[in-house]
Amino acid sequence: MASSPRELAYKALLAAEKDQSTGIDELLSTFLQQGELTQQEKRWIMELVYGVTRMKLQLDAWIEMAFKGRYRKAQHSVKSLLRMGAFQLKYMQTSEHAAINETVALSRKVKQSQASGLVNAVLRKIQSLELKDLLNHYEDEMDRLSIETSHPQWLLEKWISRYPLDEVSALCSHNNTAPKTWIRRNIQIVGAEDFESFLDGLDIKHKKSDVLDVFYEIGSASSLFSTKEFHGGWFSFQDLAAGLVASLIDPESGDTIVDACSAPGGKMAFISELSGGQAKIIACDASHSRLAKVRENILRLGLKQIEVLELDAAVAPLPAANKILLDVPCSGTGVLNRRPDARWKRQALDIISLTGIQSNILTNSWKYLAPGGLLVYATCTLEPDENWELIDSVLEHLDQASVEAIEHENLKPYIDERGALSTLPWRHDMDGMFAVKIRKAL
């Protein structure tokens, strides 16, 4: 018997609990392919799975209030069922009757019949509780904020140390919403008029960016993946902020550009498209499996003059280049609505190890940049430790290096006081990205 949407959502959430090393995106993608689902059913499953993942801390707090016994010791299967039911009760349009009864029925279907009474009792108790009842249960202000926003305390403490509380609340609210969907038109394959006609033909609402006119914000993406135009390289899915970072390389004919941490290859592809295939690009990454995605993008988008190399930019020799993009591994706190499980996987100490890796990548790559060349260092994190503090620390030891302020007129709203690109999710309604241009003297 085919799995129902609820059952598929349950399987994805249970798999995420059991396999912490695999991202929820990858797990969900696998389960969405297992059933013959309508677009509406896929959207419902995604809303439920991503929502439960984002709000897990708060959902667990609701459940603990209603649970008789030690909830933390409960089986993963029971936790997944209860979180699904609680999220539907508090955050989805599902009727309360359906949220409870269908979850109880699901518990029997997935061979958790012994838990059906418990699931029923806990959800009926949660049904009668309000958010204020839950928050009143916590005396400590930081505890309440953490539960209310469903963010870990260590991260809230870092943000509160440098942003006003209302901005931290706005950032958390942004992180708890589904991300906007942006697509990038491949200017080497299709013109704006034909592309917009294609979107109109699919009845997809679209709005062209005022900053980069090859980017479109769209209302719905799921029907686009199966089109021959997607497989023919007409467009890619990429957030506008990532496009802004790639545009800082300003590729020109004859350039040799190294993208040192390239996978999955979105920025590399945009740089190639901007150059009209006239720049030589070497796409590097330390991950053999992730480079497969880079090669896939190169073929699909019909990119020219691209070489792919498996190497660790922190230690290995890089090809000589006059331009280098370093989109380094980071804590990803600027993209927490796009990566809903990241807030639970990252710990405060991770940032210390990440800055070590970032420092090594920047120091090593610098040796292979030609005199007069440009290096763009970028992250998708909001943390100063990985951004300006890292740059200031490393540049003290780099020969002939100086920061070059970004002066593109259309990027002014996103440039910080020292000349770096700094998009802030709650202010700019796009991913949080940081990028700084570093020039090597002649």
Which region holds residue 257: left if phi is over 0, alpha if psi is between -120 and 50, else beta? Answer: beta
H or E element: which one contains 61? helix 56-66
Give the distance from CA 259 to its chain's centroid: 19
Residue type, 415: I
- Secondary structure (DSSP) of 339-389: STTHHHH--TTHHHHHHHHHHHHHHHHHTTEEEEEEEEEEES---GGGTHH
- Alpha carbon distance 345, 424 (integer Å): 22
H or E element: which one contains 281? strand 280-285
- Alpha carbon distance 96, 192 (integer Å): 46
Token digits of residue 438? 């570093």
- Alpha carbon distance 430, 427 (integer Å): 8
- Alpha carbon distance 325, 378 (integer Å): 8
Residue the block writes with tokens 């540049």: 395
- Alpha carbon distance 48, 4 (integer Å): 13
- Alpha carbon distance 299, 315 (integer Å): 29
With vertex at residue 251, the alpha carbon angle to CA 331 and CA 386, rounded to the nearest 5 degrees, is 15
The helix/strand/coil state of 325 is strand
- Alpha carbon distance 95, 225 (integer Å): 31
380 is catalytic: yes
Enumerate the β-bridge partners of residue 379: 434
Which is nearest to 236 in space by CA: 290, 314, 297, 158? Answer: 297
- Annotated active-site residue in 172, 261, 284, 380: 380
Token digits of residue 195? 């592309």
Catalytic residues: 380
